[in-house]
Amino acid sequence: MKASDVLKPLGVFVVVIAVILAGTAVVSTLSGAGSGAPSDGEDIQGQSPDAFQPGNAIVTSAPEDGDISVDGSGEEKRILVDSSHGNQYSQSDLAAIEEALVQAGHEIDFAPSSEDGGFGESNYNATLRQYDAVLIVQPTGSFSDAEIAGLTEFADGGGRIVVLGEPPQLQVSGGLTAQVSEVRFGAQGLTEEFGLRLGSDGLYNADDDWNDNNYESVVASPDGDSSLTEGVDNVTLDSPGYVVQTGDDASVRVRAGPGTKTLERRQAGQHPVAAQNDNFVLVADTSFLKSSERYDMDNEQFISNLLDFLVSGDKDDDVPSGGDGGGGGLGE
């Protein structure tokens, strides 16, 4: 058998297949759109846009550093934390304050013993006489006229009062059937005695330079020099309210940053968030005491200043007077 006996049929075999396939290709190409095989590979340029790059997108919270410290050089002071007016705070929020005060040699009471008069007793004035300063955090219940009179005399006599309040807000109460209720500041009657009111609306700031990663977290800064704002450049307040002056006696100590607006009315302005009238201070926020906010920006310094304010009063032991019998205090 010669080689050509194999090669020739093989050649014919190959040629026939080639002709059929080539013909198919030609007919197919001509009958199609004239295009070759479409490319399935894709150009993926532009899929890593600038807006997605770390340098552009990443934000970080304000650094949390610093300490809360209280002046312990003076005499020991007793501070009362009000808990008889539906006050909304958790004791853990105040733990850092308590620690700093105790460390500096002061005493802090969340509930006065009944020997000292207690809360809600007829002799509220007797209770107040035991203390040098009162801290009232977000009271939702109102103060009676007698309590207001006692506290006013307390402040006039050198006692220090700090009121922290929140703007009206909805609160979700937990459990399986969540309930939403509106919570309002209840001590307007008291604060008005000192020429101040808590505003009826919350604040926000959409300018990234004047908020702490969220429009609700407003940055505020001191208005003038005062012992309350010593060493403070900026504080951050989470959903604060604002303070309204009803008289000429009080001075604004801290104002919200430029571009701040009220939530409902969208009223722009550097709304006051903390004001002082002699021995009385009103701050339109309580969130700066919470662990997540306490050391943001200069919050810890502001808190320290507030505590120093509380322990640096000079009140006589017999202030406020009266109320021991049926004629004073709540019973007047």
Partner 1 sequence: MVDRTDSARTTTVLYVIVVVVAVLIGTVLAPVVWSATQSSSDNSGDPTVSVVTLRAGTDPGPVNDVKEDLREARTNDSIEAVVLRIDSPGGAVASSEELYLAMNQTARQMPVVAYVEGTAASGGYYGIAPADRIYVKPSSTVGSIGVIVSAPLSALEQAEAESKTYLRTGPDKATYDKDQFREEMETLHNAFLDTIMKHRGDELELSREEVGHGDAYLGPTALQNGFADEAGDLDSAISYAASQTDAIEDGQYNVHYEEPISPSGGAILLSEGAEKTDGNIVYVDKSGEGTTEFQRPVTYYAVWGVPVTEDAQEVSTNESE
Spell out the residues 6+ positions from residue 123 whose beta carbon is closer than 8 angstroms to its own. Answer: 117, 323, 324, 328, 329, 330
Does residue 45 bind partner 1 (CB under 8 A)? Answer: yes
**Residue environment code for 223-253, b if the CB has 16+ CB neighbours within 10 A, otherwise e:** beebebbeebebbbbbbbbbbbbeeeebbbb
**42 touches partner 1 by CB under 8 A:** yes
Report the C-alpha gap between 243 and 262 in whole angstroms.
12
Strands 251-256 and 217-222: antiparallel
Rounded to 10 degrees, what is the CA torsion of 100, 105, 106, 107?
Answer: 100
Under rule CB under 8 A, residue 3 binds partner 1: no
Candidate list 1, 2, 3, 44; residue touching partner 1; CB under 8 A? 44
Considering only residues 148-207, where is the footprint of partner 1 by CB under 8 A?
Answer: 170, 172-174, 176-186, 188-189, 206-207
What's the helix, strand, coil split of the chain in %, to 5? 30, 20, 50
Binding test (CB under 8 A) with partner 1, winner from 52, 63, 115, 327: 52
CB closer to partner 1, 186 vs 222: 186
- Give 44 or 317: the residue with its C-beta nearer to partner 1: 44
Q: Which of 140, 152 has the CB closer to partner 1?
A: 140
Angstrom distance (rounded) from CA 266 to CA 130: 45
Q: Which stretch binds partner 1 (CB under 8 A): 113-121, 126-134, 209-217, 299-307?
A: 209-217
For 147-186, the DSSP string reads HHHHHHHHHHTT-EEEEE---SEEEEE-SSS-EEEEE---
* Nearer to partner 1 (CB atom), residue 145 or residue 208: 208
Cβ–Cβ contacts within 10 Å for residue 56, how many? 9
Distance CA 92, CA 32 (A): 77
Contacts with 278 (C-beta within 8 Å, 6 or more apart), sequence order: 155, 194, 249
Which lies closer to partner 1 via its Cβ, residue 28 or residue 73?
A: 28
The only residue of 87, 217, 262, 279 in contact with partner 1, by rule CB under 8 A: 217
Q: Which is nearer to partner 1, 41 or 327 (CB)?
A: 41
Among the residue ranges 108-116, 140-148, 159-167, 224-232, the one whose residues contact partner 1 (CB under 8 A): 140-148
Smallest gap from residue 164 Cβ to partner 1 (A): 16
Asked if 234 contacts 219 with a C-beta cutoff of 8 angstroms, the reply is yes
Q: Does 268 bind partner 1 (CB under 8 A)?
A: no
Q: Please, which residue, 48 or 73, has the CB nearer to partner 1? A: 48
64 is written with which tokens?
């949390």
Residues 11-40 within binding reach of partner 1 (CB under 8 A)? 12-14, 16-17, 19-21, 24-25, 27-29, 31-33, 35-40
Kindly state whether residue 59 participates in binding partner 1, applying the rule CB under 8 A: yes
- CA 25 from chain center: how many Å? 73
Place of tokens 């969340």: 110
Closer to partner 1 by Cβ: residue 2 or 327:
2
CB of 284 to partner 1, least distance (A): 16
Q: Whose Cβ is closer to partner 1: residue 21's or residue 102's?
A: 21
């009063």: which residue's tokens? 313
Rule CB under 8 A: say whether 56 interacts with partner 1.
yes
DSSP character at residue 17: H
User: Does 323 contact partner 1 by CB under 8 A?
Assistant: no
Residues that bind partner 1 (CB under 8 A): 9-10, 12-14, 16-17, 19-21, 24-25, 27-29, 31-33, 35-40, 42-47, 49-52, 56-61, 86, 140-142, 170, 172-174, 176-186, 188-189, 206-208, 212-214, 217, 292
